[in-house]
């Protein structure tokens, strides 16, 4: 079946803020949600049970990576992405667009598609909107994404305009070949930092009637206020009965700002990527566990955190693992960081239920001051 979004309530103080339900082939989940990234059909160092224990609902994988390895046919023969990775919650695949533009440079964009070199072996590859959808149809994720161009920041207005219109044509082409009754397809709103272009993109994308809408082209180096504007410009024109997904955003403050602007779904590699370098989220900002002051700190990262790491291990132990280059260090911090973001969305949902999202947001941001390496 297709995904269904059910709006449960808006926050009293701010009509943009939404509490909803996402009905999927793999269960019903409250939104807003944070979706951990499992690039190659696995969230780095974590197993499905650990994701579930973190409260994870949807897990995201990357079409570009799975296309190259192990290939969409292998995943398809395994019974699709869920069965392949043995995850019984919903899965989402991106379109491969972002990876092509960020990993496989230089790439050559034409109306037809994108020519680029594999980041693994340098061989020439060609990805088109149709091909991206066909791969995703075979991967059989619960949610597939349209193939779009994620333009760099800054780009000229002229480039953004032309790229956004091509993305609209690509969305149409992808939708036309889409062929999987158990999969939903999301459209992507582009248009950079220009309100009228975001409007045009949103309006035209919505006309094509996708199962959900995503905001693309953020988190590509633009200042935060511009990013927040991009979100506002787009969500303003999106229908209320479809889920809205802000791609590639996982900073706690950005999640709060996204929810403020009507976002339901977030994903980001941030919690696992920073974990491998010893960084972890706390209510008071990010800390780096490698800091010498944690050497004999036999308390958990966060006394109030309910994650596996905080319930079982001390800062001193995690620091030891990280400074010794042990994989388990990154694993323990990944668990903590993913749980932190999922718990943030749980608290956000609770605050919407109680009509105090604005208050919660302010409290969180005030406490989360030290966003650096403590």
- 138 counts as binding its own copies under rule CB under 8 A: no
Q: Given the complex with its own copies, which of 165 and 320 has the nearer CB atom?
A: 320
Residue range at the interface with its own copies (CB under 8 A); choices 136-144, 193-201, 230-238, 316-324: 316-324
- 1 counts as binding its own copies under rule CB under 8 A: no
Min separation Cβ 140 and its own copies, Å: 15
Q: Given the complex with its own copies, which of 326 and 371 has the nearer CB atom?
A: 326
**353-368 CB burial, b ≥16 within 10 A, e <16:** eeebbeebbeebeeeb
Question: How far apart are alpha carbons 235 and 218 in whole angstroms?
Answer: 13
Q: Is 334 exposed, middle or buried (0-12, 13-18, 19+ CB in 10 A)?
A: buried
Q: Given the complex with its own copies, which of 9 and 77 has the nearer CB atom?
A: 77
Of the residues 135, 230, 263, 321, which one makes contact with its own copies according to CB under 8 A: 321
In whole angstroms, what separates CA 179 from the centre of its chain? 24
Of the residues 178, 317, 340, 364, which one makes contact with its own copies according to CB under 8 A: 317
Q: Given the complex with its own copies, which of 33 and 85 has the nearer CB atom?
A: 85
- 324 counts as binding its own copies under rule CB under 8 A: yes
Catalytic residues: 94, 267
Of the residues 7, 21, 47, 109, which one makes contact with its own copies according to CB under 8 A: 47
- 21 counts as binding its own copies under rule CB under 8 A: no
Q: What is the 3 state secondary structure string of the chain?
A: CCCEEEEEEECCCCCCCEEEEEEECCEEEEECEEEEECCCCCCCCCCHHHHHHCCCCCEEECHHHHHHCCCHHHHHHCCCHHHHHCCCCCEEECCCHHHHHHHCCCCEECCCCEEEECCCCCCEEEECHHHHHHHHHHHCCCEEECCCCCCCCCCCHHHHHHHHHHHHHHHHHHHHHCCCCCCEEEEEECCCCCHHHHHHHHHHHHHCCCCEEEECCCCCCCCHHHHHHHHHHHHCCCCCCCCEEECCCCCHHHHHHHHHCCCCEEEECHHHHHHHCCEEEECCEEEECCCHHHCCCCCCCCCCCCCHHHHHCCHHHHHHHHHCCCHHHHHHHHHHHHHHHHHHHHHHHHHHHCCCHHHHHHHHHHHCCCCCCC
Min separation Cβ 324 and its own copies, Å: 5
Q: Given the complex with its own copies, which of 287 and 335 has the nearer CB atom?
A: 335
Q: Given the complex with its own copies, which of 283 and 320 has the nearer CB atom?
A: 320
Q: Given the complex with its own copies, which of 126 and 298 has the nearer CB atom?
A: 298
Question: How far apart are alpha carbons 235 and 101 in whole angstroms?
Answer: 25
From residue 48 to residue 67, the character string flagging contacts with its own copies as x (rule: CB under 8 A) and all else as - is: x----------------x--
Q: Identify residues 250-309 at the interface with its own copies (CB under 8 A).
A: 295-296, 298
- 331 counts as binding its own copies under rule CB under 8 A: yes
Min separation Cβ 49 and its own copies, Å: 9
- 88 counts as binding its own copies under rule CB under 8 A: no
Contacts with its own copies: how many residues (CB under 8 A)?
34
- 326 counts as binding its own copies under rule CB under 8 A: yes
Residue range at the interface with its own copies (CB under 8 A); choices 100-108, 181-189, 242-250, 321-329: 321-329
Min separation Cβ 253 and its own copies, Å: 29
Min separation Cβ 83 and its own copies, Å: 9
- Contacts with its own copies, residue ranges (CB under 8 A): 40-42, 44-48, 65, 69-70, 74, 77-78, 84-86, 295-296, 298, 312-314, 316-317, 319-321, 323-324, 326-328, 331
């Amino acid at each position: 079946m297709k995904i269904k979004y059910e709006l449960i309530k808006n926050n009293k103080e701010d009509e943009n803020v939404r509490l909803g339900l996402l009905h999927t082939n793999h269960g019903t989940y409250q939104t807003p949600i944070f979706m951990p990234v499992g690039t190659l059909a696995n969230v780095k160092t974590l197993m499905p049970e650990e994701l579930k224990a973190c409260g994870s609902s949807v897990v995201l994988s990357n079409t570009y990576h799975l296309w190259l390895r192990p290939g969409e046919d292998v995943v398809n023969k395994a019974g699709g992405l869920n069965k392949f990775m043995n995850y019984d919650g919903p899965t989402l695949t991106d379109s491969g667009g972002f990876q092509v533009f960020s990993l496989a440079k230089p790439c050559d964009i034409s109306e037809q598609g994108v020519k680029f070199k594999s980041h693994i072996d340098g061989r020439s590859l060609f990805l088109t909107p149709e091909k991206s959808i066909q791969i995703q149809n075979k991967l059989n994720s619960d949610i597939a994404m349209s193939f779009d161009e994620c333009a760099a920041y800054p780009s000229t207005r002229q480039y953004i305009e032309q790229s956004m219109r091509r993305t609209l044509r690509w969305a149409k082409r992808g939708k036309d070949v889409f062929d999987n009754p158990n999969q939903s397809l999301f459209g992507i709103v582009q248009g950079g930092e220009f309100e009228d272009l975001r409007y045009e993109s949103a309006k035209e994308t919505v006309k094509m009637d996708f199962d959900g809408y995503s905001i693309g082209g953020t988190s590509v180096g633009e200042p935060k206020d511009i990013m927040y504007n991009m979100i506002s410009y787009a969500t303003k024109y999106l229908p209320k009965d479809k889920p809205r997904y802000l791609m590639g955003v996982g900073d706690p403050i950005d999640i709060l700002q996204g929810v403020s602007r009507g976002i339901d779904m977030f994903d980001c590699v941030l919690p696992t990527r920073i974990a491998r370098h010893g960084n972890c989220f706390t209510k008071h900002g990010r800390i780096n566990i490698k800091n010498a002051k944690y050497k004999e700190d036999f308390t958990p990262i966060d006394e109030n955190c309910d994650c596996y790491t905080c319930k079982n291990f001390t800062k001193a132990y995690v620091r030891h693992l990280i400074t010794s280059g042990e994989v388990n260090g990154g694993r323990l911090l990944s668990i903590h960081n993913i749980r932190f973001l999922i718990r943030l969305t749980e608290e956000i949902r609770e605050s919407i239920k109680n009509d105090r999202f604005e208050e919660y947001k302010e409290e969180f941001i005030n406490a989360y001051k030290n966003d650096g390496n403590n």
